[in-house]
Chains A and B, each alone.
Chain A
Amino acid sequence: MTRPAAVTGGVLLGLGLAVFLWKAVGLGMPVLPTDPLGLWQVEVEINARGSGGRGSVRAALPSSDLSQTIFAERSVSDGLVFSIRSERGQRTGIWSGALKRTHQLLYAFRVQLSQSTVPLPRGAGRTVPPKLRAEYGGATAEFPTTATEIVERLNWLGLSPPEQAAARLAAVYSFVTDEVATEPNAGDDVLLTLAQREGSALGKARLLVTMLRAAGFPARLVSGLQLREGLAPQPKVWVEAWLDGAWVPMSPTDAFFATRRPDFLLLRQGGDALIEATGVEAELHRFHALRERLRPEELATLMIPTNPLLAELSLYRLPVPTQGALRVLLVLPLGVLVTALYRNVIGIQTFGTFLPVLLALALRGTTLMRGLAMIAFVLALGVVGRLALERLRLLLVPRLSILLCVVVLTVTGLALTGRGLVERDLYAGVLFPMVILTGLIERFSISLAEEGLREALMKSLNSILIAVTVYPLFTSELLQHVMFTYPELVISVMGALVWIGGYTGYRISDLRRFRTFAGASGGAR
């Protein structure tokens, strides 16, 4: 290695490590994830378009209660006026003003979800206050408590007397949960749901509210999100019934009773939409959620560091989707480092420089075994396709394109059978791997034509080998967390790459190749 290369590499390596150490030791920032349970970062992103008229967008905002603690709230109003209104325990965020263009609104917060069970009374419990009875006990068009079908069904159920309120409550819940099927495409009308014994999640929730009210319990719909790791949050509707001074949560579709599921976030009382807009031409909203790897007090040191420059540079303040993408992106240099080691120090031949890393990235979108099966399939297709198309004497580009068409058809077939690849969103699950596999099939076909089956398979195996060794890096929560918290480590990786680039010693493959020289230094022997 030349002196300048050695020095440059050392300086870069040292620089990254120095910043890392300064932040970790000097400023006491956490290095390893502490992985608290149920701590999430949630974001509501709203695009509202208008052409000059006044309008407003209202979003249901969460409040802290027994099962959830809300903190670190922030909002972006993009030219509108943002205010929070609180009405009977329900908070609503309102953006209002003249909408002249597309306004990008944002409301973000962190939430600690916890599991807490509402205790049920042994006896009848406290009497229902008349005000509550009036508001949540009556018949409405949405909840036809007085309909004959409802009354008859309750009689048929043969409920326990009001003195055993908890058993009464459970009996109604069990009926709607177990005797009425959940069918996403079914209607949400209460009486229809009851008659057909089949309803949507909303239909079943409404039926439950109606029957509970008819049975004497004040009841209401509530809505919120189910937070899922690696996936977009799922809007949910469930039910709360008032008993003995507390609202008891229950869901006839997601199977919980008295204890809210620990991944459910409550946003709104009532079954109305989470986001509503008036005077707006078009409104589009999306929810994002990311599970936090650090406890709130540790997060604080990263989000609001004492050093103003670091505060400005903190990745933890970025929008949630950007954070998710960066978590993956920042691990990429580690994968490249491993590839460089394989190629320049060990001397393994692969297809292209970065194809193995991209393969590993594609594998990330699915499971390892499923991904490998897919790669094996594509390679087999390459061999068969070549044999089959050989006779037609087609030119290179159309021939490869035909193979690609077959891959597309296969993916389509897999989607039809409903298995595997299409569970996640189309981009991560299918499109991205398609791009990579196209690269693989092209390289493989050319290698097959030029160097023969043996060589082509050898290079494929090597590429897959590297992809499989790099894959754990890309799926490691730990590495993602460390690289995201300390992105300066990328500079260290660059330093290490300078060293590898300046390495002029033998590759392991050289040693193998020139093994006939072994013993040459023995001289006299």
Chain B
Amino acid sequence: MTTGEREAVLAMLNSAHVTEPTRRALLERLDARYEREFFEVAEFERLQALAVRLLPHDPAEMDLTGTVDRRLIVGVGDGWRYADALPDGEAYRALLAALPDGFETLDGEAQDTAIPALQSSHPRAFEDLLAELTEAFMAHPLTQYRFGYAGFADAPNWPQVGPNELEPREVAYGPQ
């Protein structure tokens, strides 16, 4: 995250266009970091390596794998799972165990080569992990800034809703 990006995100989050409950949630997420608790050290290294290939990101900027670990510790799920799948934590462990030995030490291209086999052998866990990482990625204020997404800055209203009818704050937010 460059200083400029951080300043732009904070300026918008602290503006009157963002309601208090929204600001609280996004400010907390911007800097959220979690200690590994659920996974073993070796598992967590594999998860981090896999997550960077599935959702290319800089773990120093956004702690996607920590978000997954945290969720498994807290025990709140998304309300359902495939009946033929293991509970989330166990399913993810089995998924990570199915990666080739030394996966986390391979270069990116070699890691990518191993992913399709993982997807076919553990389709449910692969889909669930991909969706969970995608959620953490898309919900992160930095991703939202980089994608020019300003939907959270909805106060007091959006007077125009047609194509290309943008408010100045929508035009200005994001890489120019």
A in complex with B: no
